[in-house]
Structure 1
Amino acid sequence: MLGCFMLTACDTEAARKKVSAAPAAKKDTVVAAPPAAAPEPPPPPTLDTATYNALTLHMVHDSASAKWPVKTGYPLPGALLPFHRIVAYYGNFYSTRMGILGEIEPESMLKKLQGEVAKWQEADSSVKVIPALHYIVVSAQGQPGKAGMYRLRMPFTQIDKTLELAAKINAIVFLDIQVGLSTLQKEIPELERYLALPNVHLAVDPEFSMKTGKVPGSVIGTFDAADLNYASEYLAELVKKNDLPPKILVVHRFTKGMVTNYKNIALRPEVQIVMDMDGWGFPAKKVNSYKLAVSSEPVQFTGFKLFYKNDIKTPPWNTIMSPKDVLKLYPKPMYIQYQ
């Protein structure tokens, strides 16, 4: 699941003139190809794929039912979860490889997103579905750059573009951080002017947090509960300081090792935490990852990621999981992301 995470020379060639005008991004604009990704683990069962999928796709572990729902206080006024389901498009405008957000022309992308929102609303009419744009604002890189951090910060003009597009369909916005060799303590404060807006939320990606100093993409990275507690505390202070509705913090995860000491993750009324299963593959593999890395280690809310391309790479699958398929999971994900 070490997927496409960086802006390649091909992706950024047309955009470099714009990026170079932004001092924060200029230092890291020399981007090299990523190292060879770690091989995908084989499907867990010895059964053939079709048989395994039929047996496990809609199966619920008895152990999971005892852990959900997580006991927390009643949400503060203005909280989006669990009163809404969020359907988000993920990516970066400089890349056609990092997700649907930058793969097609913006107006077509917004129309396609609205179509997905309608499908989810039809699949579950009991929960209002709202759209979101999930923009990778700090991208992990295969080369250190002048800062030596193996990460590239996007110029604020691109965040502004995300906000302008979101306003057209009344969508919320997530700013996604891949720290590389940097830290959340260094990256989150750079985004405060945007995170202080009521419709902007945060996402962090442990996969590209390289605490061992290795190159992003060479191994799966990790965040500890302490890292996530820093992020949620920072958001909570912004909420209180600016009298905002609760923020959402999305944490990507498809292995247990990506998040350590999950029981120490602090819950705060000002922040709603979503553990998002963002692994790709055939349906049973995705369901297995959801049960292993998300539902078996409950934090607060859950999410599920769907890949337009990677999820259908393994024959005989020629279509991604439908909303009805995903809604058979336990607990039902409240955050859905398309890449």
Structure 2
Amino acid sequence: MKKSLKAFLVLITPMLFLLIVTGCNKAKSAEALAENLITVKETSVLVSKEKSLTIDTADYDKRMLALSNKDTTGRWPVKAPYPLPGAVLPYNRIIAFYGNLYSKRMGILGELPKQEMLKKLQGEVAKWQAADPTVKTIPALHYIATTAQGKPGKDNKYRMRLATRQIDTVIKWAKPINALVFVDIQVGHSTVKDEVVPLEKFLILPNVHLGIDPEFSMKNGEVPGTKIGTFNAEDINDAIDFLANLVRKNNLPPKILIVHRFTQGMVRGYEKIKKVPEVQVVMDMDGFGDKVLKKSTYLRYIFREPVQFTGFKLFYKNDIKKDSNGMYTPEELLKFKPQPIYIQYQ
């Protein structure tokens, strides 16, 4: 098992060595800014309506129990405060395409042309909806906004904040298909607290949420990609506090926080991670490998260390390499305890 796990952890990390045009414009264009402001204005009406409602707690409990998939260990469903009205989970299952517009090697978002990518995403959404008609399935675009780097950079942080105009582009792409948007950060030698601040102007939009990746959090000065990094509960709580404050200040529906994980050490102190009405936390089973290994990882690090909701990552290429038995199907993943409510394709 140890040998196979080692193979499992040999992840593709081309993002560490991205060559970005040095003249990247970090300022949002007037056109993009205006469009985002229109989005805020349009959704504010919907948010205010949602805020006037109350959570049907009996319905919420029923849905959470269904997600636990008849777990008998007492771990699932997790006890937590009820979310604020307007919560996405557990009322929807999110199917997300992950990647970066600067690289075709970082994921399906960025690998395919826009229209081909969106059509493929909608196809995956349809498959999941057919597999589980009891939960509405919705699309999402999960964009890596800050990438870890193999070199220190000007501020010696081993991370690069990419041009915000690319985030504007992803938000535009999401609008016609009513998709959520996730902005993802790889902190390198920086911190979650410092890296979420530049994204506030996007996170105040009701349909934009956050992802954080412990794999590239190098607390002891290592170069990203040379070992697997880690977040402790305090790091994750910094993200939760930031999002919760945005929700309260801007009268928003709850935000979703995705935390990637595929080893024991990537997340430390899971039991200390906050559970608040303003933020819904998803522990996403990351990493590639054959089905047996991926299920084992899910059981070890997601099922046994419950936080709130669970996710599962599928790799179009690395899950179907030679001697592999292919990617998990929706029908197969729906048999897991608990059922993942967030599915990410790379």
* Fold match by TM threshold 0.5: yes
State whether structure 2 residue 21 is matched by structure 1 residue 16.
Answer: yes
Match of 2:154 in 1: 146
Contact 2:312 2:340 in 1 (8 A): yes
Match of 2:329 in 1: 322
Change over 3 Å in CA distance of 1:229–1:64 after alignment to 2: farther
Q: Deviations over 1:41-81 (max 9, x none)?
A: xxxxxxxxxxxxxxxxxxx9998732100012332210000
Q: Percent identity over the alignment?
A: 56
Contact 2:81 2:276 in 1 (8 A): no
Q: Deviations over 1:139-172 (max 9, x none)?
A: 0111111121111111110000010000021100
Match of 1:173 in 2: 181
Q: 1:291, 1:200 → 2: CA distance?
A: 29
Correspondences of 1:207-286 after superposition (within 5 Å): 207-286=215-294
Which one of the candidate residues 333, 336, 339 is aligned to 2:343?
A: 336
Which deviates further from its counterpart, 109-118 or 147-156? 147-156
Which one of the candidate residues 305, 311, 316 is aligned to 1:303?
A: 311
Q: 1:187, 1:136 → 2: CA distance?
A: 12
Which deviates further from its counterpart, 306-315 or 128-137? 306-315
Number of residue-to-residue matches in the alignment: 299
Contact 2:312 2:342 in 1 (8 A): yes
Which one of the candidate residues 209, 215, 229 is aligned to 1:201?
A: 209
Change over 3 Å in CA distance of 1:280–1:148 after alignment to 2: same
Q: 1:259, 1:148 → 2: CA distance?
A: 24
Match of 1:43 in 2: none
Q: 1:296, 1:62 → 2: CA distance?
A: 15
What is the TM-score normalised by the length of structure 2? 0.83
Contact 2:83 2:276 in 1 (8 A): no
Change over 3 Å in CA distance of 1:61–1:334 after alignment to 2: closer
Q: Partner of 1:85: helix, strand, or coil?
A: strand
Contact 1:7 1:94 in 2 (8 A): no
Q: Partner of 1:16: helix, strand, or coil?
A: coil
Q: 1:220, 1:280 → 2: CA distance?
A: 14
Deviation at 1:185, TM superposition (A): 1.4
Contact 1:281 1:314 in 2 (8 A): no
Q: 2:225, 2:201 → 1: CA distance?
A: 30
Q: Partner of 1:237: helix, strand, or coil?
A: helix
Q: Deviations over 1:66-99 (max 9, x none)?
A: 2100012332210000111000000000001110
Change over 3 Å in CA distance of 1:192–1:23 after alignment to 2: closer
Aligned-partner residue type, residue 21 of structure 2: R
Q: 1:158, 1:334 → 2: CA distance?
A: 27
Match of 1:159 in 2: 167
Q: 2:278, 2:293 → 1: CA distance?
A: 34
Deviation at 1:109, TM superposition (A): 0.3
Q: Deviations over 1:230-265 (max 9, x none)?
A: 100110000000000000000000111100011111
Q: Deviations over 1:96-122 (max 9, x none)?
A: 111000101011000000000000000
Deviation at 1:312, TM superposition (A): 1.2
Contact 1:262 1:299 in 2 (8 A): yes
Q: 1:335, 1:89 → 2: CA distance?
A: 11
Match of 1:50 in 2: none
Q: Partner of 2:93: helix, strand, or coil?
A: strand
Deviation at 1:225, TM superposition (A): 0.2
Unaligned runs of 5+ in 1: 25-59
Which deviates further from its counterpart, 243-252 or 63-72? 63-72
Q: 2:288, 2:199 → 1: CA distance?
A: 29
Q: 1:199, 1:316 → 2: CA distance?
A: 36
Match of 1:65 in 2: 73
Contact 1:176 1:202 in 2 (8 A): yes
Unaligned runs of 5+ in 2: 1-8, 29-67
State whether structure 2 residue 104 is matched by structure 1 residue 99.
Answer: no
Q: Partner of 1:256: helix, strand, or coil?
A: coil
Q: Partner of 1:310: helix, strand, or coil?
A: coil
What is the TM-score normalised by the length of structure 1? 0.84
Match of 1:184 in 2: 192
